[in-house]
Amino acid sequence: MFKERCLEGRTAIVTGGGTGLGLSMALKFADLGANLVIASRSLEHVESAAERVRERGAKAIAVACDVRKFEEVEAMMDRAEEDLGSVDILVNNAAGNFLCPTEDLTPNAFATVIGIVLQGSFHCTLAAGRKMIASGKGGTMLNILTSYAWTGSGFVVPSAAAKAGVLAMTRSLAVEWAKYKIRVNGIAPGPFPTEGAWAALLPTPEMAEAAKNKIPLKRFGEHEELANLAVYLVSDYSGYITGDTVTIDGGEWLAGAGEFNQLAMADPAAVKPLIAAMRSGQKKGG
């Protein structure tokens, strides 16, 4: 799908890159020639991911970094520049989330998710942005959101509020930092099977099956599909796109929004006669 080595010579920082979607994006970037900084709290997660990147012939450093702590984020960006030469691509992918009735949340539960997703993304954006501005070369930033950033969703209020904040930051900085040749975009995934998301949000097979049935394309996303979209958005292929967020959810959020979309989910053999009967009734009634 992409020219070989289209990310050659670039350094990409992927937060939460040791697991799940972050790891899939990091491996794809490495296959296309990027050098990687893999960062998250657990050294075990990031070291094993960095090893997998190196096995593919790219340079990689593993950094234990809690994105809630700005000094750790700044130190990570310094290391990226010292060891790999530059900071060209930032993927704000690290997240924390859980299902909880809002009336049962504690202030610290809310602050924890906001701290990882909203403040953490801001910390990385600020530290990477300063390097990109100082270099004079600019760079690309990609924020991993979710469609409930704009619809909202019950039971994940801290995450919805945090992702909505990151969406606003995406649009704001696309304009403010365009003069520094920095592009800022987002991806809004629907459900993609990962250990982290499934443990936090869809822990039983019944919940996973119900989630799948809500999706018009009747399947979950594949990591390769999201990783390809990420490459497109961080590379020169998308050079004229900034401030946008691309949804990749098999039609899920729109299906929940349209007034009569439940008819699309039902068996056409039942729906068509019902609609035909309504039409003939309408004619009879004049």
Q: Are 220 and 212 in contact (CB under 8 A)?
A: yes
Q: Is 96 in the site for ligand HXC (CB under 6 A)?
A: yes
φ, ψ dihedrals at 28, nearest 5°: -65, -45
Q: 64 forms bridges with which residues in the sheet?
A: 40
Nearer to ligand HXC, 151 or 261 (CB): 151
Which residue in 197, 241, 263, 271 binds ligand HXC (CB under 6 A)? 197
Other Cβ atoms within 10 Å of 13 Cβ, number: 32
Q: Which residue in the set 196, 216, 243, 256 belongs to the binding site for ligand HXC (CB under 6 A)?
A: 196
Strand partners, 13: 37, 90
Q: In angstroms, what CA-CA distances link 243 with 88, 102, 119, 236?
A: 17, 31, 19, 15
CA gap 234, 231 in Å, rounded: 5
Nearer to ligand NAP (CB atom), residue 15 or residue 170: 15
Q: What are the tokens at 155?
A: 């039971």
Site for ligand NAP, residues 127 to 186, rule: CB under 6 A: 144, 146
Contact yes or no for 106/88 (Cβ under 8 A): no
Q: Is-contact 99 153, C-beta < 8 A?
A: no
With respect to ligand HXC, which residue has the nearer C-beta, 7 or 246? 246
Q: What track of x and - describes contact with ligand HXC for positions 53 through 92 (by CB under 6 A)? A: ----------------------------------------
Footprint (CB under 6 A) of ligand HXC, residues 145-184: 146, 159
Q: Residue 42: which of ligand HXC, ligand NAP, none does it interact with, CB under 5 to 8 A by kind?
A: ligand NAP
Reference 261, options 196, 219, 222, 216; nearest CA is 216
Catalytic-residue membership of 237: no
Binding test (CB under 6 A) with ligand NAP, winner from 86, 119, 153, 194: 194
Cβ distance to ligand NAP smaller for residue 78 or 236: 78
241 in Cβ contact with 235 (< 8 Å): no
Report the interface residues with ligand NAP, using CB under 6 A: 15-16, 18-22, 40-42, 45, 65-68, 93-96, 116, 120, 144, 146, 189, 191-192, 194, 196-197
Q: Give the residues lining the site for ligand HXC (CB under 6 A).
A: 95-98, 100, 106, 108-109, 112-113, 146, 159, 190-191, 196-197, 200-201
Residues noted as catalytic: 148
